[in-house]
Amino acid sequence: MSASPLPKIGFVSLGCPKNTFDSERILTQLRAEGYLIVPTYQDADLVVVNTCGFIDAAVDESLEAIGEALRENGKVIVTGCLGARESVVKDAHPNVLAVTGPHATEAVMAQVHAQLPKPHDPYQDLIPPGGLKLTPRHYAYLKISEGCNHRCTFCIIPSLRGDLVSRPIGDVLSEAEALAGAGVKELLVISQDTSAYGVDLKYRLGFHKGRPVKTRMLELVQELAKLGIWVRLHYVYPYPSVDEVIPLMAQGLVLPYLDVPFQHASPAILKAMKRPAHAENTLRRIEKWREICPDLVLRSTFIVGFPGETEAEFDELLDFLEAAQLDRVGAFAYSPVDGAAANALPDPVGEDIQQDRLARFMDVQADISAARLKARLGSEMTVLVDEVGGGRALARSYADAPEIDGVVHIAQGRGLKPGDFVKVKITRSDDYDLWGKPL
């Protein structure tokens, strides 16, 4: 253990962007109170592990991470989604100091205080104005709500995180402004259902800089657009209300990019999944969006081999893919999640059939994605540089969200820095990525 008077905390952050956001809040609070964050187990006085509990593999990874922290350090506080299932953590690791659930900054801080009293003089000036970020400095996640009012049968997030609780719009906008002021060039708006922002508050009026602003997606996006940086919307459902945001994209005020997790296209399967907006005419809606904003890029995720999925229903999904011509797609074979309602559905699809369908699905989409990228050859695009090294740079255009989409490779990247916007001419494409030359 360290001889330094400043208490030292090790931090392990697992799981999705929403968890990353929670980690950033805890880290910011720790630094605000004068704790030091250290990168090794050996240097730490105690370790906080922020866990994920979404699927069984994530539970295993989280339990392993807790085990490693216990072995290497011995003093461990567990938080995050798996923390909501305290008995799972305590059964595997009875020696952890404390277990808290997700988005529980205050509870984690209380446990840290109990183990390691906070230093007397917090060095507030050590904290950058946008708080501590786990993402590179030039992009940041902006979480607008917690929890979810839907009850998709394959998902246990509502039982882990509860019903939708929207953050006050004034808080969200102040945070966004602080991030932009701290040099962030791209904000990634996240939640479980961004289109539902404010529903729980009946879209009530909040205040930003003394001005009234409605707690609603449209007003949120209008305000974020004023920051003059990239704003990217994730987890939006194809509700009619989303139509109002598309003209802002057409005007270049926010990125013409929507992450819409469709998950399937067969009405019967969508109903069995209890998906939000399952009764909407999605193809018609996509067509309408593209009429208003031809540059719109759509990303989505799908589940194949959901219980009861017949060959005919899977074909409906492939037909949808062909018709919808989505730009970016991720897909998974259905796997049961402990505690999910879908586990009780009849007619599970065998693993061989699932894998065969997944491969066929990805084949169809790879051709679509490749053709859509090929259509960009010769065009000029503004890209945001993420990484540089060896004279090359990795960047992203408006069509690429970090970590989940493709990239734009720049061979002549000398002189570029992460966070730079640069205009490139697209010279090459493959199934997922582009190559560009600075202009």
- Interface residues with ligand SF4 (CB under 6 A) are 148, 150-152, 155, 157-158, 192-193, 276
- Least distance in Å: CB of 148 to ligand SF4? 3
- Least distance in Å: CB of 179 to ligand SF4? 24
Whose Cβ is closer to ligand SF4: residue 11's or residue 334's? 334
Residue 408: closest CA among 418, 400, 416 = 400
Residue for token digits 């910011």?
Answer: 28
Whose Cβ is closer to ligand SF4: residue 148's or residue 407's? 148
Whose Cβ is closer to ligand SF4: residue 230's or residue 302's? 302
Whose Cβ is closer to ligand SF4: residue 141's or residue 398's? 141
Residue 183 neighbours by CB distance under 10 Å: 14
Instruction: For 334-404, list the strands marked E by DSSP.
Output: 380-389, 392-396
Whose Cβ is closer to ligand SF4: residue 67's or residue 158's? 158
Whose Cβ is closer to ligand SF4: residue 236's or residue 395's? 236
Residue 411: closest CA among 428, 432, 399 = 428
User: How many whole angstroms separate alpha carbon 408 and alpha carbon 436?
Assistant: 6
- Least distance in Å: CB of 149 to ligand SF4? 7
- Least distance in Å: CB of 160 to ligand SF4? 9
Residue 343 backbone dihedrals phi, psi, to 5 degrees? -60, -25
Q: Which helix (H) or strand (E) holds 375?
A: none
Whose Cβ is closer to ligand SF4: residue 11's or residue 54's? 54
Report yes or no: 408 and 370 within 8 Å, Cβ to Cβ.
no
Cβ contacts of 120 within 8 Å, gap of 6 or more: 34
Whose Cβ is closer to ligand SF4: residue 235's or residue 398's? 235
Whose Cβ is closer to ligand SF4: residue 245's or residue 337's? 337
Residue 375: Cβ-neighbour burial (10 angstroms; 0-12, 13-18, 19+): exposed
Residue 69: closest CA among 107, 95, 36, 34 = 95
Whose Cβ is closer to ligand SF4: residue 8's or residue 234's? 234
Q: Which helix (H) or strand (E) holds 190?
A: strand 186-190
- End-to-end alpha carbon distance in the chain: 53
- Least distance in Å: CB of 187 to ligand SF4? 21
- Least distance in Å: CB of 196 to ligand SF4? 9
- Least distance in Å: CB of 401 to ligand SF4? 17
User: How many whole angstroms separate alpha carbon 239 and alpha carbon 256?
Assistant: 17
* One-letter amino acid for residue 134 of the chain: L
Report yes or no: 373 and 432 within 8 Å, Cβ to Cβ.
yes
**In this structure, which long-range contacts are made by residues 400-404, counting pairs with CB atoms below 8 Å and at least 24 apart in sequence?**
400/328, 401/188, 401/232, 401/234, 401/257, 401/259, 401/299, 402/135, 402/139, 402/186, 402/188, 404/299, 404/328, 404/330
Whose Cβ is closer to ligand SF4: residue 159's or residue 174's? 159
User: How many whole angstroms separate alpha carbon 271 and alpha carbon 289?
Assistant: 24
- Least distance in Å: CB of 63 to ligand SF4? 22
Residue 20: closest CA among 236, 237, 234, 255 = 234
- Least distance in Å: CB of 93 to ligand SF4? 27
- Least distance in Å: CB of 192 to ligand SF4? 4
* One-letter amino acid for residue 212 of the chain: P
- Least distance in Å: CB of 13 to ligand SF4? 20
Which 8-state DSSP code applies to residue 168?
Answer: P
